[in-house]
Structure 1
Amino acid sequence: MLELRDLTVTYRIAAGEVPAVRGVSLALARGEALGIAGESGSGKSTLAMALLRLLPRDARVSGEILLDGEDVLTMPWGRLRAVRWASASIVFQGAHHALNPVHRIGDQIAEPLLVHGLASPAESRRKVAELLEQVGLPAWRGRSYSHELSGGQRQRVMIAMALACEPHLIVADEPTTALDVMIQAQVLELIRSLIARRGLSLIMISHDLSVLAATCERLAVMYAGRVVETGPSGAVFGDARHPYSRALADAFPLVGDPASRRAPRGLGGDPPDPMDLPSGCSFHPRCPAALPECSTAAVELWPTTDPRHTAACVLVHPETTPRLPHGGAAEDPGSGGAPPQQEPAPHAPGTPASTTVRPEVAP
């Protein structure tokens, strides 16, 4: 029901252009849940805002966003207004800032129903009461203001608003940010039950791979504006093939695991400046398994032994796929698991040193 084709988003600022999303291509089937993970600044929220053309005026967007076969980027304004909330809705990051503090919660939930002509004022009040009960809040909470609710209650209100017009697709941008672990578990369980009961499609964005793995069937990991790994949740979380995905998974120690407590793993350094991206693979300056060619070859997504599981790394090869052990280092070449190394491609003077390795050309 949703397909992104070579989606690119660039922000224009006084110092120049900032590439926030770079050539992302993804697909989402009806009734499927897709999780998008990555550090802050990886382009996740920009991608979410682009899906319904909610980006600021200084953003330049190219590519295609096909929602039920119709390109969101070329929709007339009237058609776009009809699609928002009714066909696809969004749960914004930070419910406290997304809700209007001077309007009652019930009025804000009813607004999309009234704007789209789906209910009369009397019918909208009944619908609001039903929606609040569906997300685990009493109907009388509709008379409250946002500051009178807890963080978890505000997040439930945002979910009720997203469900009001019965859309087919919900985009949840960090829906559990700043919630304690008990409330986070309740919100995630609510999302899972609503997807199962209503047959919704979901795009869920988070920096926490464990949250996404528990909620979504497939994961896509973003770094520096690009997708570096995608596949079934169990494969990406439990058997990551890109060193960055492995670092994200290892950053969350297991409760009761002495090894992770005594030797916590993480990833040193910071994501690159979008205006000064490294040549080749953008992750190579931080990568514990980087090879010489990583600084010159910008690798596209390669299929692993599972065709549904792909990774943009020279360590992944169509014929020989070495596994990344916990900690992110590649296997010793003597173990027989290392792929053949690629010599940097020569380049003519005046042309960029970085090349692109595509799946149809062996590295």
Structure 2
Amino acid sequence: MSLLEIRDLRVTYGAGAAAVPAVRGVRLSLAPGRALGIAGESGCGKSTLALALLRLLPPSARLSGEILLDGEDVLTMRWGRLRAVRWAGASIVFQGAMHSLNAVRTAGDQIAEPIELHHGATPGAARKRAGELLAQVGLPAGRAASYPHELSGGQRQRVMIAMALACSPRLIVADEPTTALDVMIQAQILRLIGGLVAEQDIGLLMISHDLSVLADVCDRLAVMYAGRVVEEGPARAVYSAALHPYGQALSAAFPRIGDPASRGAPRGLPGDPPDPSALPDGCTFHPRCAVALEGCARDEPELTGNGAHRAACVRVGPSAEGSP
């Protein structure tokens, strides 16, 4: 049984003629002890998807479909049940720890708070557990007395991960957890996250624009564009042999160690993702696609492919019209 199953999830902002689609018909699943990566440029719907998992979107958002967490639909939960599921069932590591942590409370107090609220622990027991969690993420227990401004960027990110683990959730959602960190600290945080998934048999949904980061941590990878999943498959296969032209462009945008050609001239992708309020007809990627066909401006393809690696492109699958 899947830990997380997303079925035809759709998220729009606003209503009526002014409704803007941010997530369009996403279907994904995640098993315990596995990691699923979500990649794409800014504006492709990644963070909206992450926030939708625990209904953290603003009131202007309209959601449909199903988000099954251990078989229970998050979208139909009553408020009391949803409040219990947050932290204890699933938790989020937000992008930018300095903006997520309370500047006037110590790290230990912020980690202990959900333990007191959700597990009914005494303040002393909660603070002891906070020290244990800090040690688990590679920080001295004494750092519990530190305020966020007294910690480095990597240390603050570790505090955020400790907070996410505070109530022993089954699922962790990590939204760009290594943004703005230097490469050495990024590598440490990624090893830490990957180790926690394996050791504690939790599920991880990790969001990033960097396919190489996701390929190092995740088992599977989904690429989003204009609110849809346009490619999904084994992380290494998507990174090294993407089927969709957009996945290929994302992979080629980062220089690779040991490859002089990519290091000297990494390829980019001209233009920007389309405005969600004015999506083009047909395949939403076709205005930027170097290998678009005539029919791409008319029909929006569904995910197809052989086996576990699929892409939403007319060049993929049994009826493919050519190869990129």
TM > 0.5 fold call: yes
Residue 255 of structure 1: CA displacement? 2.9
Once the two structures are superposed, residues 210-233 of structure 1 have per-residue CA deviations (whole angstroms, 9 ceiling, x without a partner) of 000000000000000000000001
Measure the CA separation in 1 of the matches of 2:190 and 2:163: 16
Once the two structures are superposed, residues 239-265 of structure 1 have per-residue CA deviations (whole angstroms, 9 ceiling, x without a partner) of 110000000000001134221234321
Residue 96 of structure 1: CA displacement? 0.6
Q: Given that residues 119 and 167 in structure 2 are in contact (C-alpha distance below 8 angstroms), is that contact kept between their aligned partners in structure 1?
A: no
Aligned identity (percent) is 69
The correspondence for 1:9, drawn from 5, 8, 11, is 11
Q: Given that residues 36 and 221 in structure 2 are in contact (C-alpha distance below 8 angstroms), is that contact kept between their aligned partners in structure 1?
A: yes
1:156 and 2:162 aligned: no
**Residues 288 and 320 (structure 1), Cα distance of their counterparts in 2 relative to 1, 3 Å cut:** closer
- The residue matched to 1:269 in structure 2 has which SS? coil
- The residue matched to 1:100 in structure 2 has which SS? coil
Question: Any unmatched runs of 5+ in structure 2?
Answer: none
After the TM superposition, which of the residue ranges 286-295 and 23-32 deviates more from structure 2?
A: 23-32
Residue 6 of structure 1: CA displacement? 0.6
What is aligned with 1:261?
Answer: 263
**Residues 262 and 160 (structure 1), Cα distance of their counterparts in 2 relative to 1, 3 Å cut:** closer
1:226 and 2:228 aligned: yes
Measure the CA separation in 2 of the matches of 1:198 and 1:118: 22
Measure the CA separation in 2 of the matches of 1:117 and 1:219: 34
Q: Given that residues 314 and 321 in structure 2 are in contact (C-alpha distance below 8 angstroms), is that contact kept between their aligned partners in structure 1?
A: no
What is aligned with 2:205?
Answer: 203
What is aligned with 2:174?
Answer: 172
- The residue matched to 1:299 in structure 2 has which SS? coil
Measure the CA separation in 1 of the matches of 2:203 and 2:216: 16
Letter in 2 for 1:275: S
Residue 236 of structure 1: CA displacement? 0.7
The correspondence for 2:130, drawn from 113, 128, 131, is 128
Measure the CA separation in 2 of the matches of 1:30 and 1:319: 35
- The residue matched to 2:119 in structure 1 has which SS? coil
Measure the CA separation in 2 of the matches of 1:118 and 1:31: 27
Q: Which has the higher contact order (CA 8 A, sep 6+)?
A: 2
- Aligned alpha-carbon RMSD (Å): 1.5
Q: Given that residues 118 and 165 in structure 1 are in contact (C-alpha distance below 8 angstroms), is that contact kept between their aligned partners in structure 2?
A: no
TM normalised by structure 1 equals: 0.86
Letter in 2 for 1:218: R
What is aligned with 1:22?
Answer: 24
What is aligned with 1:308?
Answer: 308
Question: Any unmatched runs of 5+ in structure 1?
Answer: 324-329, 331-363
